[in-house]
Chain A
Amino acid sequence: MNLSRREQLTGRVFLIALIVVTLLPFVSMLSAALQPRGTVPSGLEWPSDPQWGNFADAFTAANMGALLRSSLLIVAGVVPVSVLIATMAGFGLGQLRVPGGRLVFGLFLLGLTLPFEAVVTPLYYQMQDLGLLNTRWAIILPLIGLYMPFAVFWMRAHFTNVPVELSEAARVDGSSTWQLFWRVQVPLARPAIASLTILMFLWTWNQFLLAIVLVDDATKRTMAGALGAFQGQWGTDLVLLCAGSLLILTPTLIVFLIFQRQFIKALIQGSVKG
């Protein structure tokens, strides 16, 4: 690298400024969350007597236990099924190359840029007809469908790049298509599957629009949907709102920090491939 020292220094300074700007909202929220209840906090001001108890209050006020359980149930309903059927479809389209597969794939591509707002109204009436409104199924089922364009696209991209000779060799050995899929292809696809799983977990956990439209009860929503309700309820109590928001963020942050490397890889690949 032939960068002059000065340029490198400016680059660093910019990066650090960027980091500060990224972190400030969190720090400001924390400083507000630690003020005594009932006071009016201002911008960024470390409290003389930090009220960590506010978090306990927020935990109760937000009904965190129920929220966590609800979000986990929704994730459990959406992610494994989506990953499985998208992997199967990717395998069918990318490896088995079913006749008419191009057409089907084109159909999936149609949905890649689709804003959820474009289908949320009919989905509401559809869920009403199915009697699923205000249940977690109203979030789970549509999300699986809405994830398919990206998920199938993603898995197909992986399977297209696996040499077909591999499948042919397995067939010569007399294995059935399912054995070929489950024993040979899926283990090889593990990195692609892992990234997809991470992205879907994140998107589900953070899904807001479907949650507020299709489910009224905050304790049956996703985390993001519940946070929206929490803001509606405690919007005027800034201290509690900040404490509750930080609390609701914590599970995501913990998961992110644990799987940080995989997350970043998935997010970079996810946007580049998309």
Chain B
Amino acid sequence: MEQVIANGLYLGAQYAMIALGLTLIFALMNVLNFAHGQMYVIGGFVTYTFYGQFEIPFIFALLASCATLAILGALIERFLFGPVIRRSSREESTMLLAAGIAFLLDAVILLVFGEKQRGVPKIVNGVFNWDFRIIMPYDRILICVIAILSIVAFISFMHFSKTGRALRALAQDRVAAELMGVNVKRYSMIGFALGAMLAGLVGGLLVTITGVNLGMGGPTSIKAFLMVMIGGAGVISGAIAGGFILGMLEAVGLAVLSQYGDITYLAIFIALMVFLAIRPQGLMGKPWG
């Protein structure tokens, strides 16, 4: 049981990180970013290129991933989502655009980074072994700690910085924020860049554990949407809760149900449907949006 809890906490930390960026973009712009998984994959490939290929220290490679995705996110908001949101009031316009960007990024990833699974050298060697009750490689523990610290740093940034307050104001009421002097256009771009940067950060962190390949984008987006649905769309604390809940459910399911085949996610999907029928806004979402 100790191993299951440890696996669940580790999975939860990485899932929460993945969901954060997605929910931030949704909160700010009401955009379901189907390309979030592809952004995560690009983050992984950038870290792979700098750390694995050029042998630049991991921390700088991670920063390169964050910077690359922040710039990419800003450009996507500035030239794609921003104009579409201004010109079309139909929500499906941004959804279709997001899906199109996901396909485009998949093609770009294939062209630039190839079709192969990529991996990087371990950042820390060794395995923590507590009497075979909990076995956890040190690099996973380190990534888990970095993920939790990043989440704390992100929440602090959103609460205590001027930019964070502006972004929260934007998320709560776009019109009121504009009337209060918030530069909506500018902060929308900053928010989208921040969300994309979080995808790059988690992609860069996890490439050290899971590696990266071009097919990871779609499934990652689906899991991120699951977490957001559990926690409540557009709520930061909801995304974190959704991530840890999904991680724990997955770890417990794989331990308890393994002998019955791959039914863990079937059980999770059924539970989620029942849950959403009772509480469609998720754990921490508001029923009015």
Q: Are A and B genuine complex partners?
A: no
Residues of A within 8 A of B (CB): none
Residues of B within 8 A of A (CB): none
